[in-house]
Chain A
Amino acid sequence: MESRKRKGSVAIHRARQDEPSKSTAEHETPSVQSKIRASFRPFILPLLLLFCTLFYYYGELVNWAAWNALRNEFFYGVHDVHRLLFLVPIIYAGYNARVKGAVIVTLVSFVIFLPRAFFISPFPDPLLRMVLFTVTAGLIGSLIGVIRDQADRVRKLHIVVEDERNKLLNIIDSMADGILVTGPDFEIRFMNSVMVKDFGDGIGLPCYKHLHKLDVPCEQCMIPKVINNKEIGKWACGLGDSRAYEIVAAPYIDIDGVVCQLSIFRKVAGSKNV
C-alpha cells in the first residue's frame, strides 16, 4: 500500500512538473477579491484596537459628550469584563504576526488600559487587575504565535521530505537496472518502471508468486539472510524462460520502520528488457 502511495506521489510529482504554467499563472494573477482583502488587512488590527478602546472608555465618552440617552449601567462597573474584548486583537496578532505581533499588541493594549487604572477606576487594585490580565492575555497570544510557528515549520519540513522522497524515487525509477523492494513477508513493496516493464506490476503480491510463479518461497531465497543478518547478498537467478539476472540485495528500512530487502536486478541473459 505504502509503495502504491509512493508511486502515486511520483506520478503526481511528474504531473505537476508537466504543467507548471497553470499554477504559476494562477499565482501571478491574484483575483480582485484577494487584492482588496490584502489591501484591507493592515487596517484590521488598528480597527479592532480602536473598537476595543471605544468600548473600554465608552462610559467616559458618554459622560464627556453628555449623551445621557446612551448611559448604561454596564459601562460604569468594574472593567474586567470589558478588558476581555482586548483578547480578540491580541489573539489575532498572535495568529497573524506570531509572538512578536502578540507582544506588540499586548503592550499597546496595556498602554490603553493605563489611564483607567491610573486616574479613572474607583474600584480597588485597578493596576494589579490590569497587570494580571495583560500578562495572561500576552501569554495566550504568544502561545498561539508559537503554536502557529511550529505548525508552519512542520508543514514546510513535510513538503521538503516529500520533495526529497519524490526526487529519490524519480532517480530510482529512471535507472537502467531493475529495483525491487520486498518486505520480510515476501510482499513486493516497490518496483521501478524497468521491473514493471519486464515482469508486470506486482506491488502487493508475494515476490515468489509474481517473479517465479510459485506458491511457496524459493528454496534458495536470500530474503531472510539479507534481512535478519543485515548482509549484502549477491547471487545469480535464472527464470523459467531464457532470462537470467545478477541480483545484488541489501537490507533497507522502509518508511514504516520495517526492515526490507532492496534488490537490484541486472540482466545477464535473455530477451526481455532488464
Chain B
Amino acid sequence: MEPEWILRLVLLGMTHWILAGILLQDLANRQKVFGGRKSPWAVIILLLMPCFGSFLYLLFHPQIINPDK
C-alpha cells in the first residue's frame, strides 16, 4: 500500500475515533436518546462506516451543538 493511502486511512481513522469519543461521552451523559435505548446508538457510532454513524447520531441529537441557554 502506498504511504499516501496509509496517511489517508490514518487521518480518517483519527477523525472517526475522536468524533466517536466525543459522541459516546455525550451518549453516556444524555438522559433521553432518540429511540429510547443507548446501546444501539453506541454500536452505530462505533461500527457503522467511519464517521457515518457519528453523523447519524448528530442528525438525531442536534442538541449537542445547540445546547440550551
* Chain A residues close to B by CB (< 8 Å): 41-46, 93, 96-97, 100-101, 103-105, 107-108, 110-111, 114, 118, 127, 131
In the complex, A46 Cα to B4 Cα: how many Å?
31
Chain B contact-residue range equals: 20 to 34
Given contacts A104-B22, A104-B58, A127-B7, contact A97 B65 (CB under 8 A): yes
The reply to whether B65 and A111 contact each other, CB–CB distance below 8 Å, is no
Q: Give the residues from 1 to 39 in chain B that come closer than 8 angstroms, CB to CB, to chain A.
A: 4, 7-8, 11-12, 15, 18-19, 22-23
Q: Identify the closest chain B residue to A128 (Cβ).
A: B7
Checking A101, A110, A114 against B65 with a beta-carbon cut-off of 8 angstroms, the contacting residue is A101
* Chain B residues close to A by CB (< 8 Å): 4, 7-8, 11-12, 15, 18-19, 22-23, 51, 55, 58-59, 62-67
In the complex, A107 Cα to B23 Cα: how many Å?
12
The reply to whether B66 and A107 contact each other, CB–CB distance below 8 Å, is no
A151 CB → nearest B CB, Å: 14
In the complex, A41 Cα to B66 Cα: how many Å?
7
Interfacial chain A residues near B4, Cβ < 8 Å: 127
The reply to whether B11 and A127 contact each other, CB–CB distance below 8 Å, is yes
Checking B7, B15, B23, B64 against A111 with a beta-carbon cut-off of 8 angstroms, the contacting residue is B15
